[in-house]
Structure 1
């Protein structure tokens, strides 16, 4: 399984510098792998509406594009910051921690 995240928008955003960053779970310690898997399950990530762009009318607001790939299954979701769902926000923050 791997998780990619791309941060867009905000006052210091430079589109040419925004590239997705990827975390491969099998390279992480077992505890971190479990945490990410639990956050994916808790947020019902694969059941969220698929999207790749922010809500209309909010182009400058910070948003995150998350893509989770597991075998043949891949799902992408774009969420605005601050993320309203506690579980999904936990997933975003955990992924951001692992890409630094």
Structure 2
């Protein structure tokens, strides 16, 4: 099936991802179109969280281009980061944290 440019939701073109201008992922090329699913897997420290944080706009690419469709801007993507040592005793269940992401949408 031929993909249309307007169906492209996420695009990485020769992207370098990392921190402080030091790439831990280099020459990343992929796109995700409407109706497609992706699964990000890899060993600890391989850059999975860095990829997700870059796609969310929390990090800027070190090089290349990372583009999201306009429909994905402005909080359209939810993100629940990995648990840190300080969060182990956070007084909320996973369900409560996930539902908190919908609070603004439910009151409007």
TM-score scaled by length of structure 2: 0.25
Greater helix content: 1
Higher Rg: 2
Higher RCO (CA 8 Å, separation ≥ 6 residues): 1
